[in-house]
Copies of this chain bind each other. A is one copy, B any other.
Amino acid sequence: MAEDFAEQHVARWRDHWIDVEFDDEIELATFRLSRLTKYQKDSVKNAAAAVGLQVFEYQTLHTLMIRDTPGIASPRELAEAADVSPAGMTGRLDSLEKAGLIKRTPSPTDRRSIIIEATTAGVAIWRQAMRQRGEAEKRLMGALSAKELTTLNRLLRKLAVVADEHPPPNLP
């Protein structure tokens, strides 16, 4: 069976970096995860473009819609969930508000706060982009049988728990 890109990558490492300590299996998995990351990034880009949104607009709407309180959040909550600074989120919300996809409402209980809410147009455009993105994910995961997908999830779960509960230590 021909080598995939990850195997070619690891073979190159063996050729050129024999003094760099690494585990083949770990390096293969890491490299493959980065290839899947690129696929997902590209599918987001395509889904956003298909409905006339910029990537950051789609990502922000998506972050808003998949909350516990779908379609409703504060800018700070959105910034945290999207891993974006408060200043950055302000700019994003400016763009979405201007496009009529969200609205900002002063909080009735806290005059420092505003409440972000997706508009009907915002929800509709998000759904359209989600359908396309869903197709891309189906195409990808269709490479596995149902049993394999369950096995993959069991293994990804173990990794995701570590990733979420023990993020790389921050610097002092």
Binding site for B on A (CB under 8 A): 4-6, 9, 12-13, 16-17, 20-23, 25-30, 32-40, 42-43, 45-46, 49-50, 66-68, 70, 83, 127, 130, 134, 136-144, 146, 148-153, 155-164, 166-171
Residue contacts A-B, CB under 8 angstroms, 6 given: A9-B66, A12-B68, A32-B153, A36-B156, A43-B168, A140-B162
Closest to A142 in B: B162
Q: How many angstroms between the C-alpha atoms of A15 and B138 in the bound complex?
A: 22
Residues of B near A161 (CB, < 8 A) are: 4, 143
Known A139-B166, A161-B143; contact A25-B155, beta-carbon cutoff 8 A: no
Query: Could you tell me the dominant secondary structure of chain A's interface residues?
Result: helix
Check A156/B40 contact, CB under 8 A, given A138-B23, A143-B161.
no
A43, A148, A156, A164: most-surrounded residue (chain B CB, <10 A): A156
Q: How far is the CA of A169 from the CA of B136 in the complex (A)?
A: 9
**Further pairs besides A6-B160, A16-B70: 4, Cβ < 8 Å:** A23-B138, A32-B157, A38-B163, A50-B171
